[in-house]
Amino acid sequence: MSSEQGSWSNIVFRCAVATGAHPIDLTKTLIQLGHEPLAPVPTRTFFGRPALGLPNVFQYIGYIKKRDGFFGLYRGLGPKMCATIIKGMAFQKATELFIVHVEGKKEKKRDPFTADDEEEEEEVAADETFSTFALTLARNITATTASIIASQPFHVIAVRTMAQFVGEEQKYTGVFASAKEIYHESGIAGFFQGVTPRIIGELLALVLASSASFTVSTYILGDPRYRATLKTTFGFLSTSLTYPFHVVSACMAVNNSGLAAGQPPHMPIYVNWTDCWSHLSRNNQLKRGSSIVWRYYTGTTAVLRPN
């Protein structure tokens, strides 16, 4: 199979996976925005403590299907696909340019649809030096930043399309119509609402996972062969630690956009993303949506904040 055929195979595979998982992604986004349409019920935690339990993601999906039908579960799928594909292509192009202009090496053709999720994982020599690690990390940081910026407009459209579930609006009905609506209301800046916490979150996760796996495999275990396994483990941990940035990014993508989900009483009008972070932190809401099965009510999600 040629590299071009392989790339298209990966596109089809990733689109199929994204389509199948979209109902979960839609539900998770609505939870990140603080929308809880089903009342909590008395239950107990894993350790036996009394608590108020919120519906798990599958019960939430059932509610969406009951209200909007089967196709309602795929609200926002189109712009999400665009964001995924553009992010992968931008990551590939930025990586190639970094290799040519910074590392001074011959351009290497890479598959953008494996590079995006796997940070274009390479076979690393056993005697890798810190300088080599630092250069690889710098390349990944550059490519990740470029890919997020390139895909953010479609990411904003996807989140807003999903958020319309809250107020049942029909403001964002397609990629081009939505882009026109955002530009008319907010100009170019509207396409990049929430981009700062998204970049910070993804870069922090990348740096933490890469640095921890390199340090442990090189200086503690002394065997670079464990680096791939360690990177996966530390990647999971770092993603969990930086999850609050994604909650803030989702909120800022819809905040003050004219949608019910982005204005009182569902959400206060925030000055900037740090204001959003502070408010969510005070209400213990920075981790909402991080668990899809065991979910507990931890405080108010719909508030009217005085000026």
* 114-to-85, 169, 178, 220, 304 alpha-carbon distances in Å: 11, 36, 29, 29, 44
Q: What are phi and psi of 295, to 5 degrees?
A: -125, 135
Of 86-95, 211-220, 241-250, 298-307, where does mean pLDDT reach its minimum?
298-307
pLDDT at 105: 65
| CATH superfamily membership of 3-296 | Mitochondrial carrier domain (1.50.40.10)
pLDDT digits (tens, 9 = 90+) for 5-32: 445 566 667 777 888 899 999 999 999 9
Res. 182: pLDDT tops 90 = yes
Per residue, the 3-state secondary structure of the chain, as one string, reads: CCHHHHHHHHHHHHHHHHHHHHHHHHHHHHHHCCCCCCCCEEEECCCCCEEEEECCHHHHHHHHHHHHCHHHHHCCHHHHHHHHHHHHHHHHHHHHHHHHHCCCCCCCCCCHHHHHHHCCCCCCCCCCCHHHHHHHHHHHHHHHHHHHHHHHHHHHHHHHHHHHHHHCCCCCCCHHHHHHHHHHHHHHHHHHCCHHHHHHHHHHHHHHHHHHHHHHHHHHCCCHHHHHHHHHHHHHHHHHHCHHHHHHHHHHHHCCCCCHHHCCCCCCCCCCHHHHHHHHHHCCCCCCCCCCCCEECCCCCCCCCCC
pLDDT at 299: 66
pLDDT digits (tens, 9 = 90+) for 218-245: 788 766 677 777 778 888 899 999 999 9
The whole-model pTM stands at 0.85
How many residues are given for the chain? 307
pLDDT digits (tens, 9 = 90+) for 29-82: 999 999 999 888 888 777 778 888 899 999 999 999 999 999 999 999 999 999
For residues 281-291, average pLDDT = 92
pLDDT digits (tens, 9 = 90+) for 108-156: 555 555 544 444 444 444 445 888 889 999 999 999 999 999 999 999 9
pLDDT at 131: 85
Query: What CA–CA distance (Å, rounded) separates 186 from 191?
Result: 8
